[in-house]
Chains A and B, each alone.
Chain A
Amino acid sequence: MAVKRKTKKSFWQHKHLLSLRDLTVEEIAYILDTAQGFELISTRSVKKAPPLRGKVVVNLFFEDSTRTRNSFFLAANRLSADVIEFTKKSSSVSKGETLLDTARNLEAMGIDIVVIRHSAGGAAKFLSRNINASVINAGDGYCEHPTQGLLDVYTIRKIKGSLAGLKIAIVGDIAHSRVARSDLWAMSKLGAEVIFVGPPTLMPPQVDQLPVSVAYSLDQVIEKVDVVNMLRIQFERLGGNPFPSVREYSHYFGLTVDRMKRAKPDILVMHPGPINRGLEMESEVADGRNSVILQQVTNGLAVRMAVLFLVNQAAAMED
């Protein structure tokens, strides 16, 4: 028999959301369950709930982002928080105000939650060690993008019921992808078998030591996977010339109508967006019946509401 505690403690204890690698299966599931509750709010005629009333959320974006920034903005709004948008194009912190100074200045204004996107791996963790506010990682370099990973597994779980035993291909520039990393941690923890697909030049060092298998062509895996997540080729991140041409890349790694014919009929086609149509996938596939790309966006809102809600609650417990 469990002893009743005097103070009611939530299962969720983290004031920050920095990475999925650090979370347990139970914690990930808890966020997904919480998100499920918030999904309903978006379908009501009054799309607002009060839990973050009087709280201030800063969207601190040092990299370009439309959908993640808007999604966080809307999520915070729906929870009745005040939102400050802070966008700074320059990712160089060696010149001008440092990240630390920027954050400390914002904190001096009395903010409660910082949502940070930054080009340096570890930036969110760095911030969390140096300020009192809650920190939510909205993408740090190519380390992690936890809310993307969460919305991906949320979307899969919602349709497939569970991730256990599913085979999931993540295709593209794995080396420079924070989405691939967050997906890998969340998906493998939830029992899926993850396959990284891409040219060796776009695989990260010692990928063989991650809980993942690797394939160098989409044809090798297309018939057996339950989910295929097509990463965006981020030309701005690609150094040098990791593949000879877009044409050749598409030949081996593009999700074409032809390849889709060999896939399982209920395969889920995902993409973190924005899509390079004709490069990662043909338009017919992106808009086809297996595509859940727009559902990912919708689910992202619920997931981000859940994350904002949970970190705020944990911070309140700490105080």
Chain B
Amino acid sequence: MSSVLLIKNGRIIDPANAIDKKADLLIVDGRVAEIADHIQEPPQPDAVVIDAAGKLVTPGLIDIHVHFREPGDEEEETIESGSAAAVAGGFTSVVCMPNTKPPIENETDVEYVHRKARQARKTHVYTMGAITRQAAGVELAEMGFMVEAGAVGFTDDGRGVQDPAVMLRAMKYATMFDTLIAQHCQDEAFAANGVMNAGLQSTILGLPGADALAEQAMLWRDIQLVKKTNVRYHAQHISTADSVELIRAAKKDSLRVTCEVTPHHLLLTEQACCDYDTNYKVNPPLRTQQDIDALKTAIADGLVDALASDHAPHLQSEKELEFLAAPFGIAALECALALYVKALIEPNVIDWPALVKLLTAGPAAVIGIDKGTLAKGRQGDVAIIDPNTNYKIDVTKLRSKSRNCPYNGWPVTARIEKTIVAGEIRYSAGP
């Protein structure tokens, strides 16, 4: 007996295959079997049929930048709770960052993440490994073994690799496996322990600011190293207008450079910090309207490869500290799609197919996985989205273990109806 899932009458948007039409989608034994205008309801009595009229049917969404905090900070998030949040947000694949305690720095650590993900049985969970041992920025971690264990790239995220010689060595070494080097671009000398963007707001608030130059300086340096090594390089959560210009130039030079943008860098400015609310303390910091405009232009111009939430859960007790002392991070994986729609669709920056691409085929290509497409034979990962609803984000209802999400009460218009992973319905919205 084979298992059969039929999604009828939806608008199928599959940018990888240039599909955007009203059609039916059939998944058999966990794999995409057919997309056609009308597919007969299967004869099997246990076949599942979903009516998706008025809904969008897309490849399962992919977030290549999440922090699930396991191992080490399980009170903030676990792979299980993070996975539950992921599927509730339409994400059928996520990439964990390796800055856990201890960091993901060898094949055993990678396998640990995979095992926890299998046990959670919610979403596909990938992980990056640390570039350097203990993510200390000095000695290379065992990249080869981690690649063999399934790591999809390397980063010391949370910090950038400061030493240019170490970064050059890491890039050269990574080319041996044609794996991805991802970077949290922040030159700590320029960032000067800043806790928000350096500017008028930080001056008024009397808080140390991180100059936008810190991001740009490291990105510029890394691009020079990419020219030298031809490594696959990914700039994580770029946040400034100057970074956009560096990416634009690198892409014009056909360098293997990709980048991602977060929802908060599209929706919030440094102004949000004006009341010392630590839910707006994030790294890279919230910048200016000019930066938001530049990031949106970059997205409209097709310079951005992926949208990524940088889901960074933290305990309330940690966020209930002075702004100076509280940890960096916003947790918004579950409501990320609604936020992207608010930032990009509602103001007509891009259309739905372009947005879906940035959440499916785009990120899949960055990390080189066989996902983000509804091509025949691929795993049946699907998101069903209601694009025309109205509700308010309720932080208390989120599945993440943490509540450091500044969007409580925001009115939004898109909602995940169902999330299907390998042909199995893993999430259904309530009535």
Most buried by B among A141, A181, A209: A141
Specify which of B198, B206, B321 is in contact with A100 (CB 8 Å cutoff): B321
A15 within 8 A of partner (CB): no
Contact mask for chain B residues 296-330; partner A; CB cutoff 8 A; 1 contact, 0 none: 00000000000000000000010011111100000
Category for how many chain B residues contact A: 20 to 34
For B322, the closest partner residue in chain A by CB is A120
A177 and B275 alpha carbons, distance in the complex (Å): 20
A38 within 8 A of partner (CB): no
Q: Is the CB of A125 within 8 A of B275?
A: yes
B49 within 8 A of partner (CB): no
Q: Given the complex, which residues of B lie within 8 Å of A213, measured CB to CB?
A: none
Q: Given the complex, which residues of B lie within 8 Å of A21, measured CB to CB?
A: 204
A123 within 8 A of partner (CB): yes
The B78-92 residues at the A interface (CB cut-off 8 A) are none
A208 and B320 alpha carbons, distance in the complex (Å): 33
A263 and B420 alpha carbons, distance in the complex (Å): 78
A99 and B321 alpha carbons, distance in the complex (Å): 7
A105 within 8 A of partner (CB): no
Category for how many chain A residues contact B: 20 to 34
A161 within 8 A of partner (CB): no
A68 and B80 alpha carbons, distance in the complex (Å): 52
A239 within 8 A of partner (CB): yes
A225 and B302 alpha carbons, distance in the complex (Å): 55
A126 and B202 alpha carbons, distance in the complex (Å): 16
Interface locus among A6-14, A72-80, A199-207: A199-207
For B203, the closest partner residue in chain A by CB is A204
For A139, the closest partner residue in chain B by CB is B206
A276 within 8 A of partner (CB): no
Q: Given the complex, which residues of B lie within 8 Å of A210, measured CB to CB?
A: 200, 203-204
A148 and B322 alpha carbons, distance in the complex (Å): 22
A162 within 8 A of partner (CB): no
A119 within 8 A of partner (CB): yes
A119 and B320 alpha carbons, distance in the complex (Å): 16
Question: Nearest-CB distance from B279 to chain A (Å)?
Answer: 13
Question: Nearest-CB distance from B298 to chain A (Å)?
Answer: 24
For A93, the closest partner residue in chain B by CB is B325
Q: Is the CB of A121 within 8 A of B203?
A: no
29 A-B contact pairs sorted by A residue (CB < 8 Å): A21-B204, A93-B321, A94-B325, A98-B320, A98-B321, A99-B322, A118-B322, A119-B324, A120-B322, A120-B323, A121-B205, A121-B323, A122-B207, A122-B323, A125-B276, A141-B207, A141-B324, A142-B206, A143-B205, A178-B206, A181-B206, A204-B202, A205-B199, A205-B209, A205-B211, A206-B203, A209-B200, A210-B204, A239-B192
